[in-house]
Amino acid sequence: MYALVEALYPICRSITGSGVRQSLALIGKHIPIKVTEVRSGTKVFDWVVPREWNITDAYIANASGERVHEFRDSNLHVLNYSIPVRKVLPLETLRSHIYTLPDQPDLVPYRTSYYEERWGFCMSQHALDALPPGDYTAVVESTLENGSLTYGECVLPGESDDEVLLSAHICHPSLANDNCSGLALLTLLAEELAQRRRRYTYRFLFAPGTIGAITWLALNEERVGRIKHGLVVSCVGDGGGPTYKKSRRGDALIDRAMMHVLKQNAAAPVVRDFSPYGYDERQYCSPGFNLPVGLFQRSEHGTFPEYHTSADGLGLVAPEHLEHSYQLVRTAIDILERDRLMINAQPKCEPALGARGLYATVGGDKNAAQSNMAMLWVLNFSDGEHSLLDIAERADLPFATIWQAAERLRGAALLREREPSRG
Amino acid sequence: MYALVEALYPICRSITGSGVRQSLALIGKHIPIKVTEVRSGTKVFDWVVPREWNITDAYIANASGERVHEFRDSNLHVLNYSIPVRKVLPLETLRSHIYTLPDQPDLVPYRTSYYEERWGFCMSQHALDALPPGDYTAVVESTLENGSLTYGECVLPGESDDEVLLSAHICHPSLANDNCSGLALLTLLAEELAQRRRRYTYRFLFAPGTIGAITWLALNEERVGRIKHGLVVSCVGDGGGPTYKKSRRGDALIDRAMMHVLKQNAAAPVVRDFSPYGYDERQYCSPGFNLPVGLFQRSEHGTFPEYHTSADGLGLVAPEHLEHSYQLVRTAIDILERDRLMINAQPKCEPALGARGLYATVGGDKNAAQSNMAMLWVLNFSDGEHSLLDIAERADLPFATIWQAAERLRGAALLREREPSRG
Amino acid sequence: MYALVEALYPICRSITGSGVRQSLALIGKHIPIKVTEVRSGTKVFDWVVPREWNITDAYIANASGERVHEFRDSNLHVLNYSIPVRKVLPLETLRSHIYTLPDQPDLVPYRTSYYEERWGFCMSQHALDALPPGDYTAVVESTLENGSLTYGECVLPGESDDEVLLSAHICHPSLANDNCSGLALLTLLAEELAQRRRRYTYRFLFAPGTIGAITWLALNEERVGRIKHGLVVSCVGDGGGPTYKKSRRGDALIDRAMMHVLKQNAAAPVVRDFSPYGYDERQYCSPGFNLPVGLFQRSEHGTFPEYHTSADGLGLVAPEHLEHSYQLVRTAIDILERDRLMINAQPKCEPALGARGLYATVGGDKNAAQSNMAMLWVLNFSDGEHSLLDIAERADLPFATIWQAAERLRGAALLREREPSRG
């Protein structure tokens, strides 16, 4: 997973352009990706698909012609979506086109100007301060022309047409955590799920933030009702959190599954109520859709000092954090796949588990004790009202333990399946 | 406001009599007051309007004829509703007619005997202890005769016949906080509201505690259903609290408005569940009426040491506390006036706020950031289920901020009004 | 009560056999007991009534014929339900038939083997360590033969056929707290209730744990619907807790009554949600019955160090703890008997309590103040929606105080009774 983060990191992405296509090509080495191109000018709800932006070079040169700041060193060095420019101007005038972080003077900010035509550069405050007065040549060799917005999908059909939507934004350039990490996690998750029997159909969506999600929703409006569960994944490689932000509904199965998984598997999980700010859950959870889509992150966007700066590099992301994030998401998907309403076939008094060899004699064997308790919980609450996840929550036991107990009891004909009445 | 407190303070009020009429006359200099006189003996539910009490003088004189304690120094010095007396008696016998506060020996208590015929005086423990043995003449020049109970109303008609009831008791004599403060606050609030466009009709009621509220309810029983929101106001000039005691319903709009206002505007607000003890909310919230009427105070009655003593003087009340209390109540009234269910006109995805010039570019401008967030909250939750107050609570933003965002969005045709389905 | 604990303590009980019959005979000296014998082999739901176990002697003798460990010293010394044995074997082989508590080396464990045929002894670790190597004779003179399972019932008819079930397990041998204490408490409670007018019919059930409750439920299935409230009572003589474990329903009247009683009468009460492990509430609350039956204990089973060891002797149980437990249960029963929906006959404004002599003038008399407040609470909330227990909970006053206030108000015709709509 970390290798894929490394491969994605150097690409200069934006909300349109060749960077997105290159990234999808990398992802496409792991999983089948269907790429969709949507022409500039296409109306998508209240928005219009913008012109396509591409960039080949950008730099600031001093009077001697030396490049004192250039795009080739880092694609953060240019204002994302900067219009082309080639101009000689004194430092004082140039300053108004240079973005810095005075409070974090060593770092270069990540800045964009999608919907207002501007040209500019991003620089550390220290680098700006080091520029001597004089005339400078500012060059941005970019194009902003009719073209298309690009997104990629990987769909894994399941037993049901009901869908699980897993979505990551693919518009940020060299920011490792935000969101090479999310792209890599979902890519490898798709690779694994492709090998498994699937109750649900899985749709992985790699699209530029905001305008990409809006475009996808606009073009797939009639299909949206199939989405029964969903998760936006971003910033999943750092050491913070983990954090789950609930869907607007707040009590969707994905909300309960993620909260259960974080509670059972993380030392200090953070759970947030829905708010209308963040990543593309803003669009999925707009009131006209109100999809059951939550957001999974480690550190929360906007709260960690490296956020949207050059410090969000490969060093911020660690393989063990990526792996932990992956396990959390996959465990939640296990819950979506396995949660069911089961029915106790002998609901009057406890069945004689011991006589059936199901009840382990406990001699300090903690696993056996937990397994016994799990069977008692499953039997007592499999009354047609409580799903396996309900029971796991009530028992405060891992879902997997409850599910294994249910499987044993089903094997002994003490439990039978009922179709879930909710989803 | 403080000046009105000062003017009201010296008057000797009781549950009937000329003190109430004088107080209403003072209030009537600010706002139009309709005075109602209800004859002694009138049956009001389980009660009977009592005889009217008036007093001209009262004192205790020693054997030399010196007045050692007299009503003219403070109207607290006589037992409120004391029957007339003129009697010479030794100190030991007199003692049983003198009320003191042994635990607060410098203070004179406020005591009443409305429903049992007694005569008596109230004195500090120190003053009582200083009386030498001997004979004393006790004189109370009062009348207790058929007359009437007096209350005053100021009604400000609004667009709707639905009413907001604002009620303060007018029966306590020289107690500044309890309740010259409440009378003054409501008077000036009525003066301000009279100048404004009003969604609701406002009824300000200045009536003696308990029997006054009971009398009003008895005489206005058919009109009570118009009261959609209400607030009893007392003890609003001291430095404690502020305190809101919920209506019996507990989730009325006035409850939610006051709790929101206190949370947003007070450092350490106190919120109490309804209990059947306190001021006239006891009557408004009796089960046969169950009106949505709460109680607003600063310090809670009965809990501050000056309560019902001579220490509840003009020094206990401060202009800044009165002003803060006033702002809290007025802000709650703004919520009653402005809370509405709005409908997002473009509920699928976020609208392009930037393209409309609505989305302020944030550059450290905290107000702009809050305004942007407020618009996102309003758009996301204006789904026909959440009123503006619901949204303010969920967003944890001041109602005014949410309301301003809604006005901007309505101006841009992104939001339209729907009549509230609750009140 | 303690004397009955002392009398029950020495008897060697098990899930069947003469020990249960002797215990019921002792209880029968206080209250009429109907004894039921259910033949071995009877099918009861998923279980079969086991063969009856009786024991006359058991010991381990050394090579010299000296008894080094014997049943006569303590009936815990033999594995409960041990099959008969008479065998000479070396210490090393004998060890596998000896149960100890290595972590509590001074204590003898209580161990059973009801459903697997084993023979064995229980011993302190120190006693085992003190046995020199060599051959030993192991003797258990027991019988495991077709017979019956025995339980006892005491039914006190009430005005209604609706039943309150009070249940204690009678299968543990010399363990004073677990459950001679529960047996004694219920016996004396039945003795007291027999003298009282009863709204409900009371069923006291003394049956062996698990199999006894299952047998009773199987034989009384058609009668189970009459049980409106129920309590399992065990471990009520020690100094811990008190602890109430809610019924599976969680909001049954017995749950609310017990929680109210514990909150009002215990310094540090413990309340647990239902879990499917514990005593016979496991069976009563199995999903096919889901009876409103909770569990009352002082220390929670399994959590105190003396649990299921020889340390659970007469010294662990104290008369004052028994008495406190008794008062708690009886107070909860008072609530079951007295909780009602009352209707305020004059719901508009407060009635004139003073004029009726109901409103005590408060002069530092705390009881009078509480009684006044209780009347106000009862009047305000007797609206057909709130029972007396609802009001006691809301007022945070003892149920008895609320009930007395209601009786006074009923006496003054200010309150009338309505049949409760819930049970």
The string of DSSP codes covering C384-407 is: EEEEHHHHHHHHT--HHHHHHHHH
Cβ neighbours for A377, distance < 8 A, ≥ 6 positions apart: A391, A394, A395, A397, A402, A405, C275, C276
Candidates B45, B216, B283: best to mutate against C (most CBs of C within 10 A) is B45
The backbone region for A203, taken as left when phi is positive above 0, alpha when psi lies in -120 to 50, beta otherwise, is beta
Distance from CA of B45 to the nearest CA of C (A): 7
Q: What is the pLDDT of residue A235?
A: 97
B423 assigned to some structural domain: no
Closest-CA residue in chain A for B377?
A: A276
List, as residue ranges, the binding site of B for Zn(2+).
172, 178, 308
A228 assigned to some structural domain: yes
A373 at interface of C, judged by CB pairs closer than 8 A: yes
Q: Check which CATH number belongs to the domain holding C113 and give it.
A: 3.50.30.90
As a dihedral over the C-alpha atoms of residue C304, residue C309, residue C315, residue C316, rounded to 10 degrees, the angle is 20
Q: With beta carbons under 8 A apart, name residues in chain B contacting A289.
A: 348-349
One-letter amino acid identity for A153?
A: E
Q: Are residues A101 and A238 in the same domain?
A: no
Distance from CA of C257 to the nearest CA of B (A): 22
Among the candidates C338, C368, C396, a domain finishes at C338
Give the nearest partner residue to C288 out of A347, A381, A395, using CB atoms.
A347
Q: What is the pLDDT of residue A423?
A: 45
Rounded Cα distance, C20 and C312, in Å: 19
Tokens encoding C280: 């016979």
| Contact assignment for B289 to C354 by CB distance below 8 Å | no
Nearest to A296 by CA among A318, A327, A320: A327
> Are A40 and A149 in contact, with CB atoms under 8 Å apart?
yes
Over its C-alpha atoms, chain B yields an Rg (Å, rounded) of 25
| Distances in whole angstroms, Cα of residue C13 to Cα of each of B176, C72, C143, C153, C312 | 75, 14, 14, 17, 15
Q: Are residues B233 and B165 in the same domain?
A: yes
Please classify residue C292 by burial: count the beta carbons closer than 10 Å to its beta carbon, then call 0-12 exposed, 13-18 middle and 19+ buried: buried
Per-residue pLDDT tens digits for A148-182: 999 999 999 999 999 999 999 999 999 999 999 99
Q: Are residues A191 and A329 in the same domain?
A: yes
- Asked whether the predicted pLDDT for residue C185 surpasses 50, the reply is yes
| Contact assignment for B276 to C376 by CB distance below 8 Å | yes
Q: Are residues A294 and A350 in the same domain?
A: no
Please classify residue B401 by burial: count the beta carbons closer than 10 Å to its beta carbon, then call 0-12 exposed, 13-18 middle and 19+ buried: buried
> Are A257 and A389 in contact, with CB atoms under 8 Å apart?
yes
Q: What is the pLDDT of residue B418?
A: 81
One-letter amino acid identity for A419?
A: E
C407 at interface of B, judged by CB pairs closer than 8 A: no
| Contact assignment for B46 to C350 by CB distance below 8 Å | yes
Touching subunits for chain C (3+ Cβ pairs under 8 A): A, B
Tokens encoding B354: 């930037």
Q: With beta carbons under 8 A apart, name residues in chain A contacting B344.
A: 287-288
Q: How many CB pairs under 8 A join A and B?
A: 63
The domain total for chain A is 3
C107 assigned to some structural domain: yes
As a dihedral over the C-alpha atoms of residue C297, residue C299, residue C303, residue C309, rounded to 10 degrees, the angle is -90
Lookup result for tokens 């935000």? A178
Give the nearest partner residue to B287 out of C373, C383, C394, using CB atoms.
C383
Per-residue pLDDT tens digits for C59-78: 999 999 999 999 999 999 99
Low-confidence ranges of chain A (pLDDT < 50): 362, 423
Q: Residue C85 carries which DSSP code?
A: E
Per-residue pLDDT tens digits for A239-273: 999 999 999 999 999 999 999 999 999 999 999 99
Tell me the mean pLDDT in the region C296-309: 94
One-letter amino acid identity for A405?
A: A
Query: Which helix (H) or strand (E) covers residue C58, if one does?
Result: strand C52-61
| Distances in whole angstroms, Cα of residue A208 to Cα of each of A17, A19, A23, A152 | 10, 11, 11, 10
Specify the pairing of strand A121-122 against strand A67-70. unpaired
**Any idea how long chain A is?**
423
Among the candidates C338, C366, C394, a domain finishes at C338
Rounded Cα distance, B51 and B44, in Å: 14
Give the nearest partner residue to B349 out of A217, A273, A277, using CB atoms.
A217
Q: Check which CATH number belongs to the domain holding C36 and give it.
A: 3.40.630.10
| Contact assignment for B287 to C346 by CB distance below 8 Å | no
Strands (DSSP E) contained in A273-334 are 293-297
Q: Residue C110 carries which DSSP code?
A: P
Q: Are residues A116 and A58 in the same domain?
A: yes
> Are B316 and B177 in contact, with CB atoms under 8 Å apart?
yes
Q: What is the pLDDT of residue C321?
A: 97
The backbone region for B238, taken as left when phi is positive above 0, alpha when psi lies in -120 to 50, beta otherwise, is beta
Q: Residue A363 carries which DSSP code?
A: S
Lookup result for tokens 């003797």? C139
C31 assigned to some structural domain: yes
Q: Are residues B211 and B305 in the same domain?
A: yes
Q: Are residues B173 and B255 in the same domain?
A: yes
* Percent of chain C residues topping a pLDDT of 70: 97
A105 at interface of B, judged by CB pairs closer than 8 A: no
List, as residue ranges, the binding site of C for Zn(2+).
172, 178, 308
A288 at interface of B, judged by CB pairs closer than 8 A: yes
A122 assigned to some structural domain: yes
Q: What is the pLDDT of residue B423?
A: 45
Per-residue pLDDT tens digits for C207-227: 999 999 999 999 999 999 999
List, as residue ranges, the binding site of A for Zn(2+).
172, 178, 308
Lookup result for tokens 């920011």? A175
Cα–chain center distance at C212: 14
Instruction: Give the 3-state secondary structure of A99-166.
Output: ECCCCCCCCCECCECCCCCCCCEECCHHHHHHCCCCEEEEEEEEEEECCEEEEEEEEECCCCCCEEEE
Q: Are residues C152 and C141 in the same domain?
A: no
Rounded Cα distance, C420 and C406, in Å: 15
List, as residue ranges, the binding site of A.
172, 178, 308
Q: Are residues A328 and A205 in the same domain?
A: yes
> Are C45 and A349 in contact, with CB atoms under 8 Å apart?
yes
- Asked whether the predicted pLDDT for residue C250 surpasses 90, the reply is yes
CA atoms lying within 13 Å on the CB side of residue C209: 19
Q: Check which CATH number belongs to the domain holding B360 and give it.
A: 1.10.10.10
- Asked whether the predicted pLDDT for residue C423 surpasses 50, the reply is no
Rounded Cα distance, C110 and A128, in Å: 80
Q: Are residues C260 and C392 in the same domain?
A: no
Give the nearest partner residue to A354 out of C115, C248, C277, using CB atoms.
C115
Tokens encoding B287: 């089960």
Among the candidates B304, B338, B372, a domain finishes at B338
Residue C53's φ and ψ, nearest 5 degrees, are -110, 130
Q: With beta carbons under 8 A apart, name residues in chain A contacting B369.
A: none
Q: Are residues B172 and B274 in the same domain?
A: yes
> Are C77 and C68 in contact, with CB atoms under 8 Å apart?
no
Rounded Cα distance, A260 and A22, in Å: 37
C411 at interface of A, judged by CB pairs closer than 8 A: no
Residue C220's φ and ψ, nearest 5 degrees, are -125, 25
Give the nearest partner residue to A283 out of B349, B354, B355, using CB atoms.
B349
Q: Are residues A371 and A328 in the same domain?
A: no
C396 assigned to some structural domain: yes
A423 assigned to some structural domain: no
Please classify residue C227 by burial: count the beta carbons closer than 10 Å to its beta carbon, then call 0-12 exposed, 13-18 middle and 19+ buried: buried
- Structural domain harbouring C354: 341-418
Touching subunits for chain B (3+ Cβ pairs under 8 A): A, C
Rounded Cα distance, C47 and A348, in Å: 11
Low-confidence ranges of chain B (pLDDT < 70): 361-366, 419-423
| Contact assignment for A46 to B346 by CB distance below 8 Å | yes
| Contact assignment for A380 to C47 by CB distance below 8 Å | no
B372 assigned to some structural domain: yes
Tokens encoding C20: 């249960």
Tokens encoding A385: 């009202």
Rounded Cα distance, A186 and A166, in Å: 7
Tokens encoding C235: 């471990």
Q: Under DSSP, is residue C350 helix (H, G, I), strand (E, B) or coil?
A: coil
